[in-house]
Structure formats: C-alpha cells, structure tokens
Amino acid sequence: MPTDARRLAAPDSSQDPKLFGDIVKPQTLLDENEMRADGRYMTQPRNIFLQCGVVSQAKGSAYCELSKTKVICSVYGPKDIEMREEFQINKGKLKCELKYAPFSSSKHREHIPDAEDVENSDILLQAISPAVCLQRYPKSQIEVHVLVLEDDGSVMPAAITSASLALVDAGIEMYDVVTASSVRVAGQEACFIDPISSEQFSRASLHKSNDINQGMVMVALLPSINQVSSILSVGHLESSVLQEAITTCTFSAQNLHSVVRKSIISSFKK
C-alpha cells in the first residue's frame, strides 16, 4: 500500500471498532408508523441548505447541507492549462476533484485518493460538464474542488448540486445549472428519496441472499433544458423498477431547481 511519508505514520491497516461489537442493525427501513430512521416519510427529501460565496479566495464557491451531509465546493479559473497534453485550441478543460475529509465518514479515510475517490471525481466531471460552455474558454482550464466535510448519505447529489452552484458563482458561462438526487430502492415499489448513510445500499447490509430490487439510483439533471447529465445505479434491479426509480429521481431533482435558483438570486442581492 502506498503511504505518504510526509505525514505521521498511522498503523498500516486499522478497523472501525464498531465492527467487532454486536450492534443490532434495524431490519427494515420503515418503522411501524411508516417513518424512516430520521423521522421522514418514504418520499420526503431532507431539507436542503445552499449558499454561494463561502470561500473568499476562490473565484466561486458554494456550500450544501442536507441535514448531516455537508459539502463545500470551490471553483478556480479559467486559468492557463498546466499540462501540455491537455491543451485544446478550441475548447477549455474542466477538472474535477471530489475528496472526502479523513474524518468525514464512519471509517477513517486515507489521505491518498483510492479507486473510489477517482471514480467519484470522474462521475462528478461527467455530471457537470454538459452544463458548462467549454467552447467559451479555449486554451484554459477550470478547476472544481469538492470537499465532503461530513457524510451522511447522498453525497454525490450534494456534490453535483454544489459544484454547479459554485460554477455559477464563479461567473462561468453555462447552459443550465445541474441538480441531482438519489434514491434507495428496496423492493418493488419502495423508493426512499435522499437516503441517509444507514439507508444506503451496500452488499454487506443485505440480510437475505435474494437481493432482487435492492439498490441505489442517482440522476443528475439540467432542469431548464430537460437533459439528463448523469445516471448511476448499483444493485440487482428489474428494468421496470429501475425506470420507476429514474423517474422518481428526475422528479426530485426537478424540485431542487427552485431552491438552487433562489440561492443564486440571494447571492447576487448581497
């Protein structure tokens, strides 16, 4: 395993002590009153808080909070391209990085990006690049840095929404903002909008060997021009269930548009 010599050496591998205790996990996602673990209904998203201009040094920045999920994003550029191979004469280069703070999740995160971080950064890039008018920024690069301060589920939608808001704040020309939403699918007709960590899909959390229609779906949307910029799914889903989940996600992402618009307007009024 590669280690970073500049930091104090922690043990090579360590585990979360909770794994060794006998913590009883709730078997179902809904309690007897049809309520979720944090007191929401199945189709109720968490309250969202968005704010522009939180980092004074950056060209543009945004902060997004979905209850305990907290994400901060800053945008730098357009500036000169650093690497010669990335130079393009007719369009600019968008660079994205999604990073988890080491203390953000239930397990300790390494400082060095792992395969998951690289994939997440790539998903973020593909979700926001359809919205940016890159042909307006030839020979230059725009950097988007997203830092997850606290992870309580649905990090990717929060990262995508805040990244697009930060790009708007930086005055980058765009076709549209990007809003995103995710759902946890648990059974034929159960789509839990905006899942928290304990509701998220993971192979280890499944109790039965029969795991049909258990999974997660995320959709990123350009709401005004009605284009889908990213779709992501994981788990074993029937295609009818998958399409139902995509529709639910799209609808939920559409609903975020007014919130994003409001926060843009309020940032200009200041």
Partner 1 sequence: MAKVILGDSEKWFIIHGIQDDLRNDGRSCDDYRHIEVETGVISNTHGSSRLRLGNTEVMVGVKVELGTPDPHSPNDGLIHFHVDCSPNADPSFQGRGGEELSSNISCILTRIFNNKTAIDLSTLGIIPHKQCWVVHVDVLILECGGNLFDAVSVAVKASLHNTGIPNIQVTDGDEGTQEISLPDDPNDVKFINTNNCPLLVTISKAGSRHIVDATADEESCCNASLVVGVTRRGRTMGMRKMGEGSLDPESIPEMIETGKNIGRQLHIALDKLLKVEQGMANDIEKVGYL
Query: What is the distance between the alpha carbons of residues 163 and 130, in angstroms, rounded to a whole number?
Result: 13
Q: Are 233 and 218 in contact (CB under 8 A)?
A: yes
User: What is the SS3 assignment for 5?
Assistant: coil
* Pairing status of strand 60-66 against strand 48-52: antiparallel
Angle between helices 155-169 and 115-128 (to 10 degrees): 50
Instruction: Give the interface with partner 1 as residue ranges (CB under 8 A).
Output: 15, 19-20, 115-116, 118-119, 122-123, 125-126, 129-130, 202-204, 206, 208-212, 214-215, 221-222, 226-239, 242-243, 246, 250
Sheet holding 179-186, edge to edge: 191-193, 179-186, 214-222
- Kindly give, in sequence order, each residue whose CB lies less than 8 Å from that of residue 104, ignoring residues fewer than 6 positions away: 148, 149, 150, 151
Q: Shortest Cβ distance from residue 31 to partner 1 (Å)?
A: 24
Q: Shortest Cβ distance from residue 180 to partner 1 (Å)?
A: 12
For partner 1, the closer of residues 78 and 223 by Cβ is: 223
Q: Shortest Cβ distance from residue 9 to partner 1 (Å)?
A: 22
For partner 1, the closer of residues 46 and 93 by Cβ is: 93
For partner 1, the closer of residues 65 and 151 by Cβ is: 151
For partner 1, the closer of residues 42 and 125 by Cβ is: 125
Q: At which residue do the structure tokens 């076709």 appear?
A: 175
Q: Shortest Cβ distance from residue 53 to partner 1 (Å)?
A: 27
For partner 1, the closer of residues 58 and 128 by Cβ is: 128
Q: At which residue do the structure tokens 């990006």 appear?
A: 113
Query: What is the distance between the alpha carbons of residues 29 and 192, in angstroms, rounded to a whole number?
Result: 9
Q: Shortest Cβ distance from residue 67 to partner 1 (Å)?
A: 25
- The angle subtended at Cα 31 by Cα 40 and Cα 106, nearest 5°, is 70
For partner 1, the closer of residues 162 and 233 by Cβ is: 233
For partner 1, the closer of residues 61 and 182 by Cβ is: 182
Q: Shortest Cβ distance from residue 121 to partner 1 (Å)?
A: 10
Q: Shortest Cβ distance from residue 200 to partner 1 (Å)?
A: 12
Q: Shortest Cβ distance from residue 57 to partner 1 (Å)?
A: 28
For partner 1, the closer of residues 148 and 232 by Cβ is: 232
Query: What is the distance between the alpha carbons of residues 100 and 212, in angstroms, rounded to a whole number?
Result: 31
CA distances from 202 to 30, 43, 60, 198 (A): 17, 21, 35, 10
Q: Are 172 and 142 in contact (CB under 8 A)?
A: yes
